[in-house]
């Protein structure tokens, strides 16, 4: 029935008018020679027909073991209480808030790639948007855990929402912590919607391609009877565009609200107007670093170099470099304002960061976030996959350190020396953090196994566009390797 891979379509016969005007200057976003059929078959085969590799089972197994560790850590927290964590006065916001900010920041790249780059018609986003969106969703899931666990009595988390209760009170809407509840839950919902809407046509492809009854039924159920009608596509594209337009200000607002959790307080080191823009830049920075960290092994393991090309990695490297410079500017301005602002508490906090008990972490953060990424200025580094992978990992670590420095060094020595103290995470803190990485990876492994990691219908569109643009030259009927 659907076995004929060969003849259709002839890319060269595409009308010129569909392609946009820009000629291809850089490396291709999709290797030449692919047809509608070949991209469909290659991506759907990963989910449907290819054997699940041993590596997947090992990777998922390890991640799942970490999920069990997370469960154990959470169970202990619920049984014993928040005292098993290292938090106490003066540092009442420890790992929980550090991890929350880190995870939610990582999520931002997914929305940026899917929404902002869609609006800007950056077609290179096509191959990476699906798993970047998935990454967003899983990162937000991990992020959401921490503030809830940090509540003290996490089982009452629903008190955060305005619902008519017998207690007769409402949330305090003047508190940034309540804004956070709305920002994060809206972000999670909109990310889920965006991701699912993007998946619908591909779920229909999987439904039509799968041989197994159960797979057919499950994908069919999720695809909701999508049949590719031109009228449906028209509304679908409108909905995607509107969602992108809505998600763009949303993504900027989420980390702004997160930064206001800090900036609205009077604590030295937090009370700063530069926090919102510098948090948003930092979020994009860490998010792209995470996309890079994930996409490099994935493209190697699943042999997707045709779709996630060097151009993708280079573009991401440039975004990392650019946002890294904004972050560097943020650090610089913090130090400058501490001096120029003339506030003695702010000045002593800044000196304490640089020379106090947490100084090694501060300088490690400067090294990871500002110094090391500067090698991305060099073309040779941006063309080296291994170097990019290592730099992305370093940036991930650096961004975690940044949040650690912001949370801990500001709190541990504030206005009164009599109330100074030190903070360190306990093994339960570490177990929860490492466990959340396990949860993230386990969800990602499941996603790679059961859903198309690259948007198939958008790749077909890309095939049509590239064929139309470069004329009959790229037309090699039959495609390659299929």
Judged by CB under 8 A, the chain residues 182 through 201 that form the site for another protein are 182-183, 186, 189-190, 193-194, 196-197, 201
Task: Decide whether 1 or 22 has the Cβ nearer to another protein.
Answer: 1
Q: Which two tokens stand for residue 161?
A: 């929402």
What DSSP element (H or E) covers 70?
helix 54-80
168 counts as binding another protein under rule CB under 8 A: yes
169 counts as binding another protein under rule CB under 8 A: yes
The distance of closest approach from Cβ of residue 244 to another protein in the complex, given in angstroms and rounded to an integer, is 10
Footprint of another protein on residues 81-100 (CB under 8 A)? none
The distance of closest approach from Cβ of residue 187 to another protein in the complex, given in angstroms and rounded to an integer, is 8
The distance of closest approach from Cβ of residue 133 to another protein in the complex, given in angstroms and rounded to an integer, is 14
From 173, 380, 416, 418, residue interacting with another protein (rule: CB under 8 A):
173
Binding pattern for the stretch 292-331 against another protein, x by CB under 8 A and - elsewhere: ----------------------------------------
How far is residue 390's CA from residue 103's CA, in Å, rounded to a whole number?
Answer: 19
The distance of closest approach from Cβ of residue 263 to another protein in the complex, given in angstroms and rounded to an integer, is 13
Task: Decide whether 80 or 238 has the Cβ nearer to another protein.
Answer: 238
Binding pattern for the stretch 32-71 against another protein, x by CB under 8 A and - elsewhere: ---xxx--xx------------------------------
- Whether the bond between 379 and the residue before it is cis, its omega within 30 degrees of 0, is no
Task: Decide whether 276 or 435 has the Cβ nearer to another protein.
Answer: 276
Task: Decide whether 258 or 405 has the Cβ nearer to another protein.
Answer: 258
Footprint of another protein on residues 370-389 (CB under 8 A)? none
Query: What is the widest separation between alpha-carbon atoms in the chain?
Result: 80
How far is residue 6's CA from residue 440's CA, in Å, rounded to a whole number?
Answer: 39
CB of 379 closer than 8 Å to CB of 349: no
Task: Decide whether 257 or 365 has the Cβ nearer to another protein.
Answer: 257
Q: Which residues in 428-460 are b (16+ Cβ under 10 Å) and which e?
A: bbebbbebbbbbbbbbbbbbbeebbbbbbbbbb
CB of 94 closer than 8 Å to CB of 425: yes
The distance of closest approach from Cβ of residue 241 to another protein in the complex, given in angstroms and rounded to an integer, is 9
CB of 17 closer than 8 Å to CB of 467: no
Stretch that binds another protein, among 11-19, 73-81, 140-148, 350-358 (CB under 8 A): 11-19
Q: Which two tokens stand for residue 201?
A: 């046509």
The distance of closest approach from Cβ of residue 415 to another protein in the complex, given in angstroms and rounded to an integer, is 20
How far is residue 343's CA from residue 11's CA, in Å, rounded to a whole number?
Answer: 66
# of chain residues touching another protein (CB under 8 A): 73
Footprint of another protein on residues 211-240 (CB under 8 A)? 220-221, 224-239
Q: Which two tokens stand for residue 103?
A: 């995870």
The distance of closest approach from Cβ of residue 36 to another protein in the complex, given in angstroms and rounded to an integer, is 4
Stretch that binds another protein, among 9-17, 130-138, 293-301, 423-431 (CB under 8 A): 9-17
Footprint of another protein on residues 128-167 (CB under 8 A)? 162
Task: Tell me the backbone φ, ψ of residue 153, rounded to 5 degrees.
Answer: -120, 80
Task: Decide whether 202 or 429 has the Cβ nearer to another protein.
Answer: 202
261 counts as binding another protein under rule CB under 8 A: no
Task: Decide whether 70 or 101 has the Cβ nearer to another protein.
Answer: 101
User: What sign has the CA pseudo-torsion 139, 97, 156, 83?
Assistant: positive
Collect contacts of 208-211 with beta carbons under 8 A, ≥24 apart. Answer: 208/2, 209/2, 209/40, 209/41, 209/44, 209/48, 210/48, 211/48, 211/49
Footprint of another protein on residues 403-432 (CB under 8 A)? none
Task: Decide whether 200 or 325 has the Cβ nearer to another protein.
Answer: 200
Which DSSP string do the residues of 278-324 spell out, in sequence order?
HHHHHHHHHHHHHHHHHHHHHHHHTT-TTTS-HHHHHHHHHHHHHHH
């Amino acid at each position: 029935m659907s076995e004929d891979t060969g003849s259709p379509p002839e890319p060269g016969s595409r009308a010129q008018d569909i392609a946009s005007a820009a000629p291809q200057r850089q490396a291709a976003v999709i290797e030449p020679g692919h047809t509608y059929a070949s991209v469909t078959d290659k991506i759907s085969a990963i989910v449907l027909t290819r054997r699940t590799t041993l590596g997947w089972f090992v990777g998922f197994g390890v991640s799942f073991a970490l999920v069990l560790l997370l469960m154990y850590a959470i169970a202990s927290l619920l049984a014993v209480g928040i005292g098993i964590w290292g938090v106490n006065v003066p540092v009442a916001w420890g790992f929980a808030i550090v991890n929350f900010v880190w995870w939610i920041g990582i999520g931002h790249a997914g929305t940026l790639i899917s929404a902002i780059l869609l609006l800007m018609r950056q077609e290179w986003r096509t191959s990476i948007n699906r798993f970047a969106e998935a990454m967003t969703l899983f990162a937000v899931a991990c992020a959401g855990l921490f503030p809830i666990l940090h509540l003290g009595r996490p089982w009452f988390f629903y008190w955060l929402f305005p619902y008519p209760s017998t207690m007769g009170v409402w949330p305090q809407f003047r508190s940034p912590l309540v804004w956070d509840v709305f920002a994060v839950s809206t972000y999670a919902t909109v990310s889920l919607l965006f991701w699912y809407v993007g998946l619908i046509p591909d779920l229909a492809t999987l439904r039509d391609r799968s041989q197994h009854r159960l797979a057919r039924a499950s994908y069919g159920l999720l695809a909701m009877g999508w049949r590719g009608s031109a009228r449906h596509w028209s509304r679908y594209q409108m909905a995607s565009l509107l969602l992108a337009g809505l998600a763009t200000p949303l993504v900027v607002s989420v980390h702004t609200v997160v930064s206001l959790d800090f900036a609205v307080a009077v604590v030295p080191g937090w009370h700063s107007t530069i926090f919102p823009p510098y948090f948003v830049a930092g979020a994009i920075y860490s998010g792209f670093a995470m996309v890079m960290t994930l996409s490099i092994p994935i493209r190697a393991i699943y042999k997707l170099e045709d779709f996630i090309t060097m151009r993708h990695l280079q573009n991401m490297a440039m975004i990392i470099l650019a946002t890294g410079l904004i972050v560097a500017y943020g650090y610089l301005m913090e130090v400058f304002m501490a001096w120029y602002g003339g506030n003695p508490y702010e000045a002593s906090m800044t000196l304490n960061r640089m020379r106090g008990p947490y100084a090694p972490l501060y300088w490690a953060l400067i090294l990871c976030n500002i110094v090391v990424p500067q090698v991305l200025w060099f073309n040779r580094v941006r063309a080296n996959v291994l170097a990019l992978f290592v730099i992305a990992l370093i940036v991930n670590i650096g961004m975690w350190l940044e949040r650690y420095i912001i949370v801990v060094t500001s709190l541990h020595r504030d206005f009164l020396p009599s109330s100074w103290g030190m903070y360190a995470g306990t093994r339960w803190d570490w177990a929860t953090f490492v466990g959340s990485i396990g949860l993230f990876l386990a969800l990602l492994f499941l996603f790679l196994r059961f859903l198309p990691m690259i948007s198939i219908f958008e790749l077909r569109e890309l095939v049509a566009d590239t064929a139309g643009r470069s004329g009959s030259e790229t037309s090699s009927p039959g495609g390659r390797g299929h």
